[in-house]
Amino acid sequence: MTPDALAPVAVTTRSGIDESVHFGVVVALGPTGEIEFAVGDPSVVVYPRSSNKPMQAVAMVRAGLDLAPDLLALACASHDGTPAHLDGVRRMLAVAGLDESALHNTADLPIDRASAREIIRHGGGPTRLQMNCSGKHAAMLVTSVGAGWSHDESYLDPAHPLQQRITATIEELTAEPCAHIGVDGCGAPAHAYSLVGLARGFRAIATGGAGPAGSSVADAMRGNPVMVGGEHRDVSQLIARIPGLVAKDGAQGVFAAALPDGRAVALKIGDGGDRARSPVMVAALRRLGVDVDGLEALVSEPVLGHGHPVGEVRVIAP
């Protein structure tokens, strides 16, 4: 990503003064799949990070993964690490006769602060189970066991049969070759491609263009939004409140969403911060004609002074 690909998308205001300007890229597709509007360069290559997870899940279902809808949603998740999430990962692993010792993602504490405090209070620390990507990794293991592929640490190798299928599926759904494959924060391959390609990928899943596997993933996410993130997370709130929406957040300021009628949005905040991500997504959906009344308060990013709201993130584009 180069600076000239970015444009101002939001301003953070504190006590009546504009304090920070957030630059980024936004692209929206209309019902036909053509670009409806864009801010910045939509062809910019990005790491969608965890926004790749629904496409990774499509590849796994095509390879034979068969899970209950709540667990399939968890396979797409960057979960909060609450007891319900951790129990879901254990249930998923048990499908293949595995336990959490089979996981090879990075260890971490839960995203959910209350859950993290509870673990620390009882003398615990970071584990692979608690890390927000453990659902995806559990699904990778279950898929590999079912297909007869190796399910040791090699499942994270881009040359592993599962990862090759994931790469092919991402390239199919985004309608472009991956520009690069790096290493994600959890240890899995991280695919890079254009931001407009990310919008196309979500559009394929939301509209049924990814086939029966994509429809299964979309229905699982729509029916279990809290499993995709958490009770108070922006992504879960948007899925729950906008009928038919499929959405997924990603690290470093990425967000993607799509509707069954083909409308889709993908965005990247240039410096990787998340403060402007949700307000910009809501503004982009509104410009596409999506009813977002009442959602602003759910995804707002208040600016605090001495513990009290003294400002806000104000969207200036789109």
Please write the tens of the pLDDT for every residue from 66-92: 999 999 999 999 999 999 999 999 999
Is the Cβ–Cβ distance between 112 and 130 less than 8 Å?
Answer: no
Q: How far apart are CA 267 and CA 132, in angstroms?
A: 21
Tell me what the mean pLDDT of segment 227-243 comes to.
96
Interatomic CA distance for residues 152 and 267, integer angstroms: 35
Judge contact between 138 and 128, C-beta under 8 A. Answer: no
Supply the pLDDT for residue 302: 86
Whether 20 contacts 187, CB under 8 Å: no
Which DSSP letter does residue 153 get?
G
25 pLDDT tier (thresholds 50, 70, 90)? very high
Indicate the SS3 state at residue 308.
strand
181-219 confidence digits (pLDDT tens)? 999 999 999 999 999 999 999 999 999 999 999 999 999
Q: What average pLDDT does the segment 103-121 reach?
A: 97
Residue 297 confidence (pLDDT): 77
Residues 290 and 36 sit within 8 Å (Cβ to Cβ): no
Domains present along the chain, CATH in parentheses: 3-63+159-315 (3.40.710.10)
Give the mean model confidence (pLDDT) for residues 239-255: 98
